[in-house]
């Protein structure tokens, strides 16, 4: 079980830090919405994701893919 958890942690850590942080904030805030969560969760997800989509890291991902190299995430 520990090897699987460590493998998952490595996979998560290899992703862009801005998107990982935004995802964690969304996960932690889901409990705040109770049973009427659908619209507020989508709105909150959009608000968390918007800065990520316009970040330098968002441009780095496709650029690295096109250049067939590992992305260099900067958290910007």
Domain ranges of the chain: 16-76
Of 25-29, 35-39, 60-64, 68-72, minimum mean pLDDT range: 35-39
Distance (Å, whole) CA 18 – CA 76: 7
Distance (Å, whole) CA 45 – CA 3: 31
Other beta carbons within 10 angstroms of residue 29's beta carbon come to 14
Which superfamily does CATH assign the domain made up of 16-76 to? Answer: Lyase 2-enoyl-coa Hydratase, Chain  A, domain 2 (1.10.12.10)
**pTM as predicted:** 0.77
Place of tokens 């067939």: 68
pLDDT tens readout for residues 40-61: 788 888 999 999 999 999 999 9
Of 2-16, 27-41, 54-68, minimum mean pLDDT range: 27-41
Residues in the chain, how many? 76
């Amino acid at each position: 079980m520990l090897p699987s958890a460590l493998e998952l942690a490595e996979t998560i850590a290899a992703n862009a830090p801005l998107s990982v942080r935004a995802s964690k904030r969304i996960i932690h805030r889901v409990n705040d919405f109770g049973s009427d969560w659908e619209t507020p969760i989508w709105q909150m997800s959009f608000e968390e994701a918007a800065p990520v989509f316009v970040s330098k890291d968002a441009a780095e991902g496709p650029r690295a893919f096109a250049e067939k190299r590992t992305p260099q995430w900067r958290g910007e």
